[in-house]
């Protein structure tokens, strides 16, 4: 095994897939000469040339639509949108076209396209550059939405996404790019993939289940380890990894085992992924619950620029710890 950053895992996987399949191509703003705003595409233009690594104009609707058309004709475009906030400019192409073409043409055409985009807050990019819109895309039949939390999952899920015949929204949290984790050495890699739609129990426990995804999985694991060491509470952590399709059986089996559930997400509290999971638990595991399901999420305000206010608006280890303790005590909100 080797230890690499989340950014390196993405970069190496893009390189491997470009080498493996001549139909794979990259496109996006400044991904070539500038090597991407977050350097995920560093070195790829030099190796593969401008026909396979395309710098696009600042016109999200145009180049996402172009990618959908290219995918219909047999290519496998991987589109980088600089942040998920800018995907709103292309939402018609994503939701009304890419997501529906396979269905509306009776299966005669597919759109094997990946839309890579970072989201999330915490690095002072202010209200219009720090949002979490994963719930919007997870709502849409015809799209797949993945949210890896580790370099291992980022590599395995990106491979699966590129090889999938449906459009995939691949969301990378900005604060994860420099985090590190183990992946197999390239010589031992064996071309592994992580299946889309399969959650993973990242940590076994018996007293309470935390359900998380993306950066919140990292936070949840840290809190779970600390609380067990300090208070003896055994906490299981389920990493969703995919939001559509959603692995409901893994969630339910974990909650049935522990009898308590806390859901943590970085996006806003109302109408979010956490609400969907809480409803699922209520519908399928109500009789197993020893306490109400708790949700930890962002404060419902445009994310402030000022660091102290930004931290106050985002879910933190203190918020999660408080929710765990109250759930263990059976406290109702």
Q: Which tokens go with 240?
A: 């969703």
Give the sign of the dihedral formed by CA 264, CA 198, CA 242, CA 186.
positive
269 is catalytic: no
DSSP letters, 102-139, are HHHTTTS-----EEEEEE--SSS--GGGS---HHHHHT
Closest residue by Cα to residue 5 from 212, 155, 157: 155
Of the residues 29, 80, 129, 310, which is catalytic?
129
Question: Given phi > 0 = left and psi -120 to 50 = alpha, else beta, which region is 267?
Answer: beta
State how beta strands 144-146 and 242-244 pair. antiparallel
User: With the C-alpha atoms ordered 170, 200, 214, 8, is the resulting torsion angle positive or negative?
Assistant: negative
129 is catalytic: yes
* Residue of 35, 60, 236, 266 marked catalytic: 60
Q: 157, 221, 215: which is closest to 183 by C-alpha? A: 157
Task: Return the structure tokens found at 183.
Answer: 């992946």
What is the end-to-end Cα distance of the chain in Å, rounded? 45
Contacts 24+ apart (CB under 8 A), 162-166: 162/17, 162/21, 162/24, 162/76, 162/78, 162/114, 163/76, 163/112, 163/193, 164/112, 164/114, 164/196, 165/110, 165/112, 166/102, 166/110, 166/111, 166/112, 166/142
The helix (H) or strand (E) run that includes residue 297 is strand 294-298
Catalytic residues, by residue number, are 60, 129
């Amino acid at each position: 095994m080797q230890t690499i950053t989340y950014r390196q895992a993405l970069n190496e996987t893009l390189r491997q897939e470009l080498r493996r399949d001549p139909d794979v191509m990259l496109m996006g703003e400044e991904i070539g000469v500038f090597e991407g705003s977050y350097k995920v595409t560093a070195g790829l233009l030099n190796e593969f040339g401008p026909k396979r690594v395309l710098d696009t104009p600042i016109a999200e609707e145009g180049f996402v639509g172009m990618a959908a058309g290219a995918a219909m004709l047999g290519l496998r475009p991987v589109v980088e949108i600089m942040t998920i906030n800018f995907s709103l400019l292309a939402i018609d192409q994503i939701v009304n076209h890419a997501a529906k073409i396979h269905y509306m043409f009776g299966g005669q055409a597919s759109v094997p396209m990946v839309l890579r985009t970072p989201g999330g807050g915490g690095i002072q990019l202010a209200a219009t550059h720090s949002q979490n819109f994963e719930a919007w895309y997870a709502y849409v039949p015809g799209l797949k939405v993945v949210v890896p939390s580790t370099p291992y999952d980022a590599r395995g899920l990106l491979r699966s996404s590129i090889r999938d015949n449906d459009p995939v929204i691949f969301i990378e949290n900005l604060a994860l790019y420099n985090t590190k984790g183990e992946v197999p050495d390239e010589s031992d890699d064996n071309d592994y993939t992580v299946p889309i739609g399969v959650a993973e129990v990242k940590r076994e426990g018996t007293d309470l289940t935390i359900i998380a995804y993306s950066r919140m999985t990292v936070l949840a694991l840290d809190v779970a380890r600390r609380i067990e060491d300090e208070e003896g509470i055994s906490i299981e952590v389920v990493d969703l990894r995919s939001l559509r399709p959603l692995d409901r059986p893994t969630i339910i089996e974990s909650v049935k085992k522990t009898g308590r559930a806390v859901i943590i997400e970085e996006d806003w509290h109302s109408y979010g992924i956490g609400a969907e999971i809480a409803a699922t638990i209520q519908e399928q595991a109500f009789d197993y619950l020893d306490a109400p399901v708790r949700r930890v999420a962002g404060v419902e305000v445009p994310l402030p620029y000022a660091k102290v206010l930004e931290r106050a608006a985002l879910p933190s280890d203190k918020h999660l710890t408080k929710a765990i303790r109250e759930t263990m005590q059976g406290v109702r909100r």
